[in-house]
């Protein structure tokens, strides 16, 4: 049975970890629109995606706690009364994970263990939806990739994200904490970090196009990816949060259809009316960890929850560009602003 999630959240106590980040803030904003009692926890770790401006306009309707998920006492207090937890805190840069694997382990494994231990001890009835990632599949054996594909991460970040996901499933199976994971493909849209290029290339390409700079594509740009708009992703989280059929399960959440880097860049530059593209040789060290084409089969999640991505890429890119044009300074020179 599919619950009407647009009514489910009214008055519910919902915790969003990493709630000042890209996806977390989008989930929080949708929850506000559904009259949920929204509580964000975000440590605003440097280099991660947290940005207080992401809840601009709704800050009066959201409680925000600046706490670290690794803080056991804080987590006990935060999860105590929650009905639903959207667990979006994390470090997503594979480059950073290879530079400092210890930090990645803390943020992507220890944090989630701490959250789940808190649920186990003070709120085993919570429902938890974890933000997984397609990264854990590594280089696909065949396309599209469904959930029966081997997990074979190519970097420390992927390994730790996979472990983080598995903790949720084990706590579901052993301790009865209702948990599931959504394995997200490439997400784009407003409120993504575009200060640096280590959190997904799509946000970075959008920034380069807006600044009328050159987007560099490795190789011939024939690689395929599927892109999902962040509003559709937030919708997926809200659906998973109401569905006990999802408990103990993992689901791919991917875009409507795959597109090549070449076609994506052409579409982006057209939509922006600025930017150029240059095709360059693969740097050796990048080629070594390249996974080739990837796109997900999300039919399992569609069947379980009725979800379907509703925003086409052309339309989604246009509104994303408009958002960043209106708020460019809030996303680019953030550190400089904060120092000022």
The nearer residue to a second copy, 93 or 166, going by C-beta atoms, is 166
Q: How far is the CB of 72 from a second copy (least distance, A)?
A: 9
Residues 82-111 that bind a second copy (CB under 8 A): 98, 101-102, 105, 109-110
Residues 214-253 that bind a second copy (CB under 8 A): none
Give the binding range for a second copy (CB under 8 A) out of 44-52, 58-66, 170-178, 232-240. 170-178
The nearer residue to a second copy, 118 or 277, going by C-beta atoms, is 118
CA–CA distance, 331 with 89 (Å, rounded to integer): 19
In the chain, count H helices and then E strands.
Answer: 14, 12
Tell whether residue 73 is a contact of a second copy (CB under 8 A). no
Q: Which of 113, 245, 318, 334 binds a second copy (CB under 8 A)?
A: 113
CA–CA distance, 209 with 115 (Å, rounded to integer): 39
CA–CA distance, 248 with 194 (Å, rounded to integer): 33
Q: How far is the CB of 142 from a second copy (least distance, A)?
A: 13
Tell whether residue 154 is a contact of a second copy (CB under 8 A). yes
Does residue 99 contact residue 90 with C-beta atoms inside 8 Å?
Answer: no
Q: How far is the CB of 244 from a second copy (least distance, A)?
A: 18
CB neighbour list of residue 98: distance below 8 Å, 6 or more residues apart: 155, 156, 157
Does residue 199 contact residue 49 with C-beta atoms inside 8 Å?
Answer: yes
Query: What is the number of residues in the chain?
Result: 340
Q: Which of 77, 170, 245, 318 binds a second copy (CB under 8 A)?
A: 170
DSSP-based three-state secondary structure for 243: coil
Q: How far is the CB of 264 from a second copy (least distance, A)?
A: 26
Q: Which of 1, 60, 148, 278 binds a second copy (CB under 8 A)?
A: 148
Angle between the 111-122 and 156-175 helix axes, to the nearest 10 degrees?
A: 10
Task: Please provide the DSSP assignment of 153-173 as one string.
Answer: -SSHHHHHHHHHHHHHHHHHH
Q: Which of 5, 137, 167, 301 binds a second copy (CB under 8 A)?
A: 167
Binding mask 286-305 for a second copy (x = CB under 8 A): --xx----------------
- Site size for a second copy, by CB under 8 A? 27
Tell whether residue 156 is a contact of a second copy (CB under 8 A). yes
CA–CA distance, 117 with 203 (Å, rounded to integer): 34
The nearer residue to a second copy, 59 or 117, going by C-beta atoms, is 117
Q: Which of 93, 135, 160, 320 binds a second copy (CB under 8 A)?
A: 160
CA–CA distance, 73 with 66 (Å, rounded to integer): 13
Tell whether residue 163 is a contact of a second copy (CB under 8 A). yes
CA–CA distance, 149 with 162 (Å, rounded to integer): 13
Does residue 130 contact residue 164 with C-beta atoms inside 8 Å?
Answer: yes
CA atoms within 13 A on the CB side of 232: 26
Q: Which of 37, 42, 83, 155 binds a second copy (CB under 8 A)?
A: 155
Binding residues for a second copy, rule: CB under 8 A, are: 98, 101-102, 105, 109-110, 113, 117, 148, 150-156, 159-160, 162-163, 166-167, 170, 173-174, 288-289
């Amino acid at each position: 049975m599919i619950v009407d999630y647009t009514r489910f959240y009214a008055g519910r106590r919902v915790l969003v970890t990493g709630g000042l980040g890209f996806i977390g803030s989008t989930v929080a904003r949708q929850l506000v629109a559904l009259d949920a009692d929204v509580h964000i926890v975000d440590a605003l770790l440097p280099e991660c995606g947290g940005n207080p401006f992401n809840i601009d306009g709704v800050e009066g309707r959201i409680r925000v706690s600046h706490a670290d998920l690794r803080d056991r006492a804080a987590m006990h207090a935060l999860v105590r009364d929650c009905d639903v937890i959207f667990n979006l805190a994390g470090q997503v840069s594979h480059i950073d994970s290879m530079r400092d694997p210890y930090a990645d382990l803390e943020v992507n494994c220890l944090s989630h263990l701490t959250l789940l231990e808190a649920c186990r001890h003070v709120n085993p009835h919570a429902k938890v939806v974890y933000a997984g990632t397609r990264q854990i599949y590594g280089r696909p054996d065949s396309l599209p990739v469904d959930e029966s594909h081997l997990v074979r991460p190519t970097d420390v970040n992927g390994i730790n994200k996979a472990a983080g996901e598995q903790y949720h499933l084990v706590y579901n199976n052993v301790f009865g904490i209702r948990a599931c994971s959504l394995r997200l493909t490439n997400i784009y849209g407003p409120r993504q970090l575009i200060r640096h290029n280590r959190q997904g290339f799509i946000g970075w390409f959008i920034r380069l196009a807006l600044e009328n700079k050159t987007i560099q594509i490795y190789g011939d740009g024939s690689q395929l990816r599927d892109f999902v708009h962040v509003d559709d992703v937030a919708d997926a989280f809200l659906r998973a949060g109401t569905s006990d059929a999802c408990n103990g399960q993992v689901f791919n959440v991917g875009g409507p259809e795959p597109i090549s880097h070449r076609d994506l860049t052409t579409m982006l530059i057209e939509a922006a009316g600025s930017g150029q593209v240059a095709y360059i040789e693969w740097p050796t060290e990048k080629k070594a960890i390249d996974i080739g084409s990837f796109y997900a089969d999300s039919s399992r999640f569609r069947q379980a929850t009725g979800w379907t991505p509703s925003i086409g890429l052309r339309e989604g890119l246009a509104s994303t560009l408009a958002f960043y044009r209106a708020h460019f300074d809030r996303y680019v020179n953030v550190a400089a602003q904060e120092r000022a």
